[in-house]
Amino acid sequence: MSRAHPLGIAVFGAGDIAVRHAEALRVEPGVRLTAVAEPEAARREAFAARYGIERTAADYRELLRMEGVDAVLILTPHHLHHPMVLESLRARKHVICEKPMGRTAAECDAMLAEAASTGCSLYITHSLRCDFFYQTAMRRIGEGAIGRPILGSFRWFTDELVRLDDPRHWKGTVDRSGGGVFIDGGCHVADLGNAFFGRARRVSASGSRLVAALPDRGEDNGAFVVEYFSGATCAFALSFTAGRAFRRERFGAGMNADIYGTEGHLEGGYLLRDADFRRFCIEHRPGRDDVTYPPPREEDRTIDSDFVRSILTGAPPPVTAMDARNAVAVVEAAYRSLRSGRIEDVDWRS
């Protein structure tokens, strides 16, 4: 598909995560960051100046009426994803939205229906689909290196206590975020579990607010176990606060994953300790030496780049909106399990 002009992208939200997305898109061929919407004036103008964006607005709806806006990049708190996605699609804009797709599967289903109705593209930024470990592990599984995947575990942790204890911030709030660490980090790794093991069947969960002080926050530590229709099982341990114990001075976060197959085992993930970022993937097979795969020195792709290429060329994206919806469905079953104390079925869609 050829275009007479660059793909004009409007950014909704100019917080810290917007910088990461903008840095990727500013060097992407055939793309122009054309406008930004952000209610905080100082943040909005600083972001616009940094990326040479001429058009700004406090209200994102103004950007939907502007000429030259072909697509929108939604980087806002979780409760705004649903209305912003629907209004953008109705305005006939392609949409790239930060994960989670929505707070509930019902919100996600409404977005999918609107995208189907308008014919516009809808993408959700499950960025771990472009992570070194996931890419390497999926390639080796596809090559038969570990046989059939039958068991897995993910340990995902970060350092969110400052934002959790800020009464003005939305992070981890039950109403705006949709819950605590399950809908946040859990949505990330639940998507990877679905990619590795297939259709999720049912979930059992345990978790609570153990460290954060504010009563409107959801669970800050917990775990859920997913059984898949393949018979495989995967456990997900999640923490909003363990990164504080891992860091030296500034920030700590990480993901450790193990994927066990009938013929071998893959382990890997990433660890961030202050400014030290390490990625790894190790393959273990009976009767053979371990293989440690070297990560690239620099990322050669981002999920934003993949989505832009999909819009421009029709190439398949690394993760679909239906994939993102089913990750939310797994998390939603985990929340039902938290409330009921029982194993809960996943509301999966094919």
Distance CA 94, CA 116 (A): 12
Q: Which runs of consecutive H residues, i.e. helices, occur in 51-180?
A: 60-64, 78-90, 105-118, 132-142, 161-164
List residues bridging with 269 in a β-sheet: 256, 280
Residue 1 has a pLDDT of 46
Residues 6+ apart with CB under 8 A from 301: 130
Residue 170 has a pLDDT of 97
For 107-126, how does the pLDDT look when each residue is reduced to its tens digit (9 = 90+)?
999 999 999 999 999 999 99
**Minimal CA–CA distance to 182: which of 224, 213, 214, 243?**
224
Q: Which structure tokens are listed for 329?
A: 């469905």
Residue 300 has a pLDDT of 58
Going by the DSSP 8-state scheme, the letter that residue 129 receives in this structure is G
**Minimal CA–CA distance to 95: which of 310, 250, 327, 338?**
310
3-state secondary structure (DSSP) of residue 306: helix
What's the predicted TM-score (pTM) here?
A: 0.96
Residue 122 has a pLDDT of 98
Distance CA 62, CA 12 (A): 11
Distance CA 328, CA 348 (A): 10
Distance CA 291, CA 296 (A): 16
Residue 262 has a pLDDT of 98
Residue 297 has a pLDDT of 77
Regions in the chain scoring below 50 on pLDDT: 1
Distance CA 43, CA 322 (A): 33
